[in-house]
Amino acid sequence: MHGAGSGEGATAPDTGQGWTTRVVRRAGSTRRRVEGDICVVGAGIAGVAAALEAARLGCQVVVVDAAPSLGGQAVGAPIGTIAGLFSAGEEPRQLTRLVADELVEGLKREGALYPRYSHKARTIVLHYDDVTLGRWIEKAFVQRGIRALLGAVLVDATREGRTLVGLRVATRFGEVEVRAKGFVDASGDAALAWMAGLACREPSGARLVAGLARWAWCARSRARELCWARRAVFH
């Protein structure tokens, strides 16, 4: 049994493989608390980039995501391409740097990056191996001491006046309270902004298919009461 509580348990005999098991019970309802300088909600490629850069600057970072793994759709969906890093034209130049440089070099070292020139888009598109990308993200998190809470569903956000100070997530092992000095909403649909009670713009008279929103909020500065508008695809 994984993630069990600290209740009393009985030890079972040796299994013959050099280790024993024990029977445990959940020791009541407890809420854990995690603290950091920056909390990033969303572990897709946007959240990963935000977390890695914040950690590089010396921040203690906590990343929260409902998915069971890091990388979002870049790892968990059959996408396999990175576009938008280069300008358009006959001789494209790389425009996106910082974490993008590290990611590209890391995949190159593993032989898992396959650049090609798209004549239709007139730019360079990078194809990659999703398993290698996932492993690269995991190693980068470990190297920079980033704490990841995966399988964690956002339940509530705590404000003190106009300042966001914490959030509450539910995991299979119980609730966790996250406290931080600053927050980044990389959820893809403004989940943190909405949970914090901010006004969110959404279309009327259209059915939402997929959305994307990136929003950052510094908890120690005056917060604006209007988040970025949701950008979505409709039909």
Taking only the tens of pLDDT, the chain with its 235 residues reads: 444 444 555 555 555 666 788 898 877 767 899 999 999 999 999 999 999 999 999 999 999 999 999 999 999 888 899 988 999 999 999 999 999 999 999 999 999 999 999 999 999 999 999 999 999 999 999 999 999 999 999 999 999 988 999 999 999 888 999 999 999 999 988 999 999 998 888 777 656 554 444 444 444 443 333 333 333 332 2
Question: Structure tokens of 143?
Answer: 């190297």
Domain ranges of the chain: 31-75+130-220, 81-128
Going by C-alpha positions, the residue among 90, 42, 45, 104 that lies closest to residue 67 is 42
Contacts of 158 (CB under 8 A, 6+ apart): 164, 165, 166, 167, 168
Q: Look up the pTM and report it.
A: 0.76
> What CATH homologous superfamily does 31-75+130-220 map to?
FAD/NAD(P)-binding domain (3.50.50.60)
The secondary structure of residue 209, as a DSSP letter, is E
Nearest 5 degrees, angle CA 170-CA 75-CA 168? 15
Residue for token pair 């997929």: 210
State how far the Cα of 142 lies from the Cα of 75, in Å rounded to an integer: 18
